[in-house]
Amino acid sequence: MPEEICRNLYRIEVPLPDSPLKSLNSYVIRGKDRNLVIDTGFNRKICLTAMQTGLSALGIDLSRTDFFITHFHADHFGLVTRLATPSSQIFFSRPDAEIMESWEGFEPMIAFAGKNGFPENEIRAAIDQHPGNRFGTDWKPALNALSDGERIEVGDFGFECVETPGHTLGHTCLYEPAHRLLISGDHILGDITPNIQCWSDTENPLRQYLDSLDKVRRFAVDRVLPGHRSLFYNCEQRIQELEKHHAQRLDEVLKILKDRSLTAYEIASRMTWDIRGTWEEFPVAQKWFATGEALSHLRYLEEESLIVRSSGAFHTGRVDKMASTFTWDSK
């Protein structure tokens, strides 16, 4: 049964089988004229059943329901085309909408992964197991693109869009100032760290993510409603914990690279992960996510001139700016 968070705001837990995330939090706001559903789950039967059951228990009429998607990952976006009706609006960020509209498949990511040491014999298997490939939308729906600061009014709630790039380029949270609520998607999670991946030489998603954390700390938040796991209250404390985590990650990468030249895949295999077993025992899809995460930290260090890259490998080289500890001051 859906959980009531406050009057006319509910959470439906949508199972995510075979995912370390376990479930997705879909939030439902009931209004007099229109309802709003925030995030939906994978495009698969078990998710659809959970959503239909929860929405039915709340008496939600989908013909009077709109959708807000925090970002384009399949566990948040995949099911929306099976729930939306012809009268539904689907609210989405402009940067993520542009990525979807220009999507050319996984080939550019495959090439980038190969350039960064991901074994050729594992790349195709990783893509085959990628949830975005297996459980994405049936088709690209019409999207109502919203920008930073725009509002969505539904029932007793007035949500402000807060663009928080990092987890994806267009990831967007919703802030409700009267209730001091932050619907954080995958930007801030309570007991796990959001996966920050990089699959391009031109982006610096970790820098964006850290800037986005600093942006969110300026809002008065009493309660955080994340995309996964438990709701929590200590937003500022959690931001500091996430900053510390990435500072430690950057230090770890520098230590791994000391007096060595390694590809991103090799660095990922030496980093510490919460998955049980050796690197060789990791599911290939988790190796993909881990390598993307390693690349985001490597790109940050490269942009800070703390490491250099040549022939597809990273090393400290003749870097004079070598650092041992990263810190971010609370603003």
CB proximity list for 248: less than 8 A, separation 6 or greater: none
Query: Does 14 reside within a domain?
Result: yes
Residue 279 pLDDT greater than 80, yes or no: yes
pTM for the full predicted model: 0.93
What is the per-residue pLDDT for 317? Answer: 67
Contact 67, 54 (CB under 8 A): no
| Location of structure tokens 């390598």 | 291
Query: Does 25 reside within a domain?
Result: yes
**CA gap 173, 184 in Å, rounded:** 5
* C-beta neighbour count of 234 within 10 angstroms: 14
Number of domains in the chain: 1
* C-beta neighbour count of 176 within 10 angstroms: 22
What is the per-residue pLDDT for 331? Answer: 31
Query: Does 16 reside within a domain?
Result: yes
**Mean pLDDT value across residues 58-71:** 98
**Mean pLDDT value across residues 318-330:** 45
Element (H, E) at 91: strand 90-93
Reported confidence tier of residue 308, pLDDT bands at 50, 70, 90: very high
Q: What is the sign of the dihedral through the CA atoms of 105, 134, 183 and 20?
A: negative
Query: Does 117 reside within a domain?
Result: no
3-state secondary structure of 164: coil
Q: Tell me the per-residue pLDDT of 174-215, one tens digit each, with 9 for 90 and over.
A: 999 999 999 999 999 999 999 999 999 999 999 999 999 999
Q: Tell me the per-residue pLDDT of 1-42, one tens digit each, with 9 for 90 and over.
A: 899 999 999 999 999 998 889 999 999 999 999 999 999 999
Q: Tell me the per-residue pLDDT of 284-304, one tens digit each, with 9 for 90 and over.
A: 999 999 999 999 999 999 999
Q: Which of 54-63, 87-96, 310-319 has the lowest mean pLDDT?
A: 310-319
Query: Does 89 reside within a domain?
Result: yes
Query: Does 273 reside within a domain?
Result: no
Contact 73, 104 (CB under 8 A): no
What is the per-residue pLDDT for 241? Answer: 98
Query: Does 123 reside within a domain?
Result: no
Radius of gyration of the chain (CA): 20
Reported confidence tier of residue 79, pLDDT bands at 50, 70, 90: very high
Reported confidence tier of residue 330, pLDDT bands at 50, 70, 90: very low
Residue 329 pLDDT greater than 50, yes or no: no
What is the per-residue pLDDT for 323? Answer: 44
Mean residue pLDDT of the chain comes to 93
The H-assigned helical ranges of the chain are: 45-57, 74-77, 80-83, 94-101, 107-115, 120-129, 131-134, 205-216, 235-257, 264-270, 284-303
Contact 300, 206 (CB under 8 A): yes
Cα distances (Å, whole numbers) of residue 58 to 30, 51, 130, 157, 196: 8, 11, 33, 17, 34
**CA gap 26, 199 in Å, rounded:** 28
Residue 324 pLDDT greater than 90, yes or no: no
Cα distances (Å, whole numbers) of residue 259 to 16, 295, 314: 42, 19, 11
**CA gap 214, 218 in Å, rounded:** 7
- Which residue range is the domain that position 9 belongs to? 3-105+140-239
Residue 248: alpha-carbon gap to chain centroid: 20
Q: Tell me the per-residue pLDDT of 128-156, one tens digit each, with 9 for 90 and over.
A: 888 888 898 876 788 999 999 999 999 99
**CA gap 247, 105 in Å, rounded:** 33
What is the per-residue pLDDT for 319? Answer: 46
Query: Does 129 reside within a domain?
Result: no
What is the per-residue pLDDT for 215? Answer: 98
Q: What's 152's domain CATH number? A: 3.60.15.10
3-state secondary structure of 131: helix
